[in-house]
Copies of this chain bind each other. A is one copy, B any other.
């Protein structure tokens, strides 16, 4: 079964915000065996909303729309849907009471605009939004389903999970979609493709292979669409097992786990602890771990030692070492990792020091130069990496490379 996703908002088309909603919705639909055919983003424009929705309904049995449900004049999705489905806007007393209560909790008076949020097309089923003031709406139209959700990501997320998915599963007889992802590390995409060519060519036609390169890893995803039963999952398991014998040293994990999730799982299982000492990555490594639920079981302390004084005073890096080798050096990276491990009383510590740019580069240490160190119970290792030319890219890659080195060192201790 096919679905289309439509996200509405001028702010998406001018690039003022990145649309994360459609990816989240796609994951929900996919997980229930619904194939997302396309995702379309359009502006707050009546004619374009109508034209896009009409076209989507010719291609998909389910259309999920987000955005354009706010109380202000620029938001026109609700009115447009009511017109399209030939329905009046009527007051929903449950929504009205909920909006009033939510606003009261935040000390906000209930005004005309808020009252308009309780107006819904008479023909829809209201999907109760416990986390916000704009309700979700479920329409049935000529055997197809159209769902309209607010654009606030976590409100959309809760509505998809609690309201939309259970209803879709009850409404349609859904087939399965199976995706399995194997994570490799240490081989570039083209070298990996060469190494596994015979394996790839022998795949059955219903299994689709995708290469997903990232800094530090290449993921291989096998997908089977609209299948039935367990046999496909088992076939994918067999294919991955065969692949593992071809590149045993490069397989680091499965599924869509990130490198930090792999480290998270290892540390949690072994009841070991982690500290971070970041200069150029500026807290990104710490935040990648602490975003994962349960991180407090192993994450002890992170230090963002941007200034040389912080490196010396907080982490105990020898100022003479900074003076002699520079802040971006193997010696400083090692002392940062060892200092973080010591002050946090942690089993492992990972440290980064580099030049994120755009200023600060030299011939010897150009922008993008990063030293990464990992301090472990059996000693400290350090590597130099060239992480690109753009500040955001350097921070991202250096963080990934640091977590990759950390994973490798923890894995060695098993």
**A residues adjacent to B (C-beta < 8 A):** 10-20, 22-28, 30, 35-44, 48, 52, 70-74, 103, 106, 108-109, 111-114, 131, 152-154, 157-158, 177, 179, 181, 188-191, 193-194, 200, 208-213, 221, 223, 256, 276, 278, 281-287, 289-291, 293-296, 299-307, 309-310, 313-314, 343-345, 356-360, 388-393, 395
Partner of A39, one of B30, B41, B108: B41
- Does the CB pair A276–B304 fall under 8 Å? yes
Q: Which residues of B contact A12 (CB under 8 A)?
A: 23, 26, 39
Q: Are A300 and B309 CB-contacts (below 8 A) given A39-B41, A282-B287, A389-B131? A: yes
Top 8 nearest A-B pairs by Cβ distance? A282-B290, A283-B286, A302-B304, A15-B26, A15-B27, A283-B283, A301-B310, A283-B287
Residue of B nearest to A115 (CB): B190
Apart from A13-B38, A299-B304, list 7 A-B contacts with CB within 8 A: A13-B39, A18-B20, A73-B200, A154-B390, A283-B302, A290-B304, A290-B395
Q: Which residues of B contact A282 (CB under 8 A)?
A: 286-287, 289-291, 295, 299, 302
**Docked pose: A69 CA to B41 CA in angstroms:** 23
**Docked pose: A155 CA to B86 CA in angstroms:** 47
Shortest Cβ distance from A106 into chain B, in angstroms? 7
Q: Which residues of B contact A52 (CB under 8 A)?
A: 38
Partner of A13, one of B36, B221, B393: B36
Identical subunits present: 2
Partner of A343, one of B16, B38, B314: B314
- Does the CB pair A283–B290 fall under 8 Å? yes
Partner of A16, one of B19, B256, B307: B256
With most chain B CB atoms within 10 A of its CB, the pick from A281, A290, A314, A395 is A290
Shortest Cβ distance from A265 into chain B, in angstroms? 17
**Docked pose: A20 CA to B392 CA in angstroms:** 13
Partner of A189, one of B71, B112, B392: B71
Secondary structure class of chain A's binding surface, majority of residues: mixed
- Does the CB pair B113–A193 fall under 8 Å? yes
**Docked pose: A24 CA to B15 CA in angstroms:** 6
- Does the CB pair B190–A108 fall under 8 Å? yes
- Does the CB pair A154–B303 fall under 8 Å? no
Q: Which residues of B contact A10 (CB under 8 A)?
A: 208, 210, 223
Shortest Cβ distance from A233 into chain B, in angstroms? 16
With most chain B CB atoms within 10 A of its CB, the pick from A13, A18, A48 is A13
Q: Which residues of B contact A72 (CB under 8 A)?
A: 189-190, 193, 211
Shortest Cβ distance from A305 into chain B, in angstroms? 6
**Docked pose: A289 CA to B284 CA in angstroms:** 11
Shortest Cβ distance from A386 into chain B, in angstroms? 9
Q: List 9 A-B contacts (CB under 8 A).
A: A14-B27, A14-B36, A15-B24, A16-B27, A72-B190, A154-B393, A299-B304, A301-B303, A301-B314
Shortest Cβ distance from A344 into chain B, in angstroms? 6
- Does the CB pair B304–A303 fall under 8 Å? yes
- Does the CB pair A296–B303 fall under 8 Å? no
Q: Are A108 and B191 CB-contacts (below 8 A) given A304-B302, A310-B344? A: yes
- Does the CB pair B307–A70 fall under 8 Å? no
Q: Which residues of B contact A313 (CB under 8 A)?
A: 343
Residue of B nearest to A106 (CB): B188
Partner of A193, one of B23, B36, B71, B103: B71
Residue of B nearest to A360 (CB): B296
- Does the CB pair B18–A23 fall under 8 Å? yes
Residue of B nearest to A25 (CB): B15
With most chain B CB atoms within 10 A of its CB, the pick from A44, A344, A356 is A344
Shortest Cβ distance from A359 into chain B, in angstroms? 8
- Does the CB pair A309–B190 fall under 8 Å? no
- Does the CB pair A301–B307 fall under 8 Å? yes
Q: Which residues of B contact A345 (CB under 8 A)?
A: 309
